[in-house]
Structure 1
């Protein structure tokens, strides 16, 4: 049973046995990624609008400040000073959150790239007569492990998104982002290396020069 939290929802998906398991995992992750990217896009749009409003308010205040005489500045009330300070504090918070969301979106799109890498290669390997059913089963098993690791990456992304509703510190958010980003890079590197090794194996099993060239073109092997 795979449990994948998506925003306020939780998906419960029964995974099948055997070589098709990773296909089910991939579909769940793909659906989750789409929801996360859409939610992040909406957040970014709102935050950008809020940032523009605050920046305009900041400029207005700065213009007013530049017109004041030194004696008038000295006579500011606490309320006026706090209002000016609050604008800056709020602007800093919005920009900080906006930076987080942009970073999270980059990570989510990276996760989508991992899925695309998997789907393209898996389709080619399944159609490649140079692999035995046993070898395809092994490839499927490796993919399952990588995709299950991807579920954890998605969980971490959602945790950071939801953390803005809690009292999580910036340091904690940055640590989660850093760890998830590192795992994504490892997953992507491992997946690309695994796919290349299998592609080279298929090329080595070619029975003619023409077949070798054809397979290299199919798998995008230059050397």
Structure 2
């Protein structure tokens, strides 16, 4: 009976050791997913995302300042334009927050391929945001120019009819 007990104990210990080894292997793999590799940290699109954020902030501030000072928009229109910029800026800051999370070791369990795919998605989204900003800025600048020309035409006609 003692021999049977010893065999059972050895078998149980062997199974336990194997399962613990397997668990340790899985733990090592999962912990490895928490590490951010240098290839991911130095991925060129990380810099592009940050540059797009800087571009977005710089261009929005400049355009908004010009639009407000143009005198071609009423307060409600200025408020609408400010809301568009605010929404765009908030969405881009969310992208920067997501990027920070992706690049912070220990925050997400992702493979390098998953991290790179997420960074690619953020890069596409930031590029679209900058493109939208530029289109929006061009359209509002054109509207301001058209309004200015109309105002000058009206003043010219009024001046012509008020002349003796």
Q: Same fold (TM over 0.5)?
A: yes
**Counterpart-to-counterpart distance in 2, 1:165 and 1:152:** 16
Instruction: Give 1:16-165 correspondences, 5 Å limit.
Output: 94=38, 96-97=39-40, 99-100=42-43, 102-163=44-105
For residues 140 and 146 of structure 1, do their structure 2 counterparts lie closer, same or farther at Cα, with a shift above 3 Å needed?
A: same
What are the ranges of 5 or more consecutive residues in structure 2 without an aligned counterpart? 1-36, 154-164
Name which one, 1 or 2, has greater alpha-carbon Rg: 2
Match of residue 75 from structure 1: none
**Counterpart-to-counterpart distance in 2, 1:208 and 1:128:** 14
Given the alignment, which residue of 199, 208, 213 partners 2:152?
208
Following superposition, the deviation at residue 145 of structure 1 comes to 1.1
Where in structure 1 do 4 or more consecutive aligned residues deviate above 6 Å? none
1:172 aligns with 2:127: no
**Counterpart-to-counterpart distance in 2, 1:98 and 1:117:** 27
Following superposition, the deviation at residue 166 of structure 1 comes to 5.6
| Larger RCO, structures 1/2 (Cα 8 Å, 6+ apart) | 2
**Counterpart-to-counterpart distance in 1, 2:115 and 2:41:** 13
What are the ranges of 5 or more consecutive residues in structure 1 without an aligned counterpart? 1-92, 210-223
Q: Is the 8 A contact 2:101 2:107 kept in 1?
A: no
**Counterpart-to-counterpart distance in 2, 1:97 and 1:164:** 14
Q: Is the 8 A contact 1:108 1:157 kept in 2?
A: no
**Counterpart-to-counterpart distance in 2, 1:194 and 1:130:** 16
Match of residue 134 from structure 2: 192
Two-structure CA RMSD over aligned residues (Å): 2.0
Residue 168 of structure 1 aligns to a residue whose secondary structure is: coil
Q: Is the 8 A contact 1:104 1:177 kept in 2?
A: yes
Residue 208 of structure 1 aligns to a residue whose secondary structure is: helix
Following superposition, the deviation at residue 141 of structure 1 comes to 1.1
**Where is the helix percentage greater, Structure 1 or Structure 2?**
2
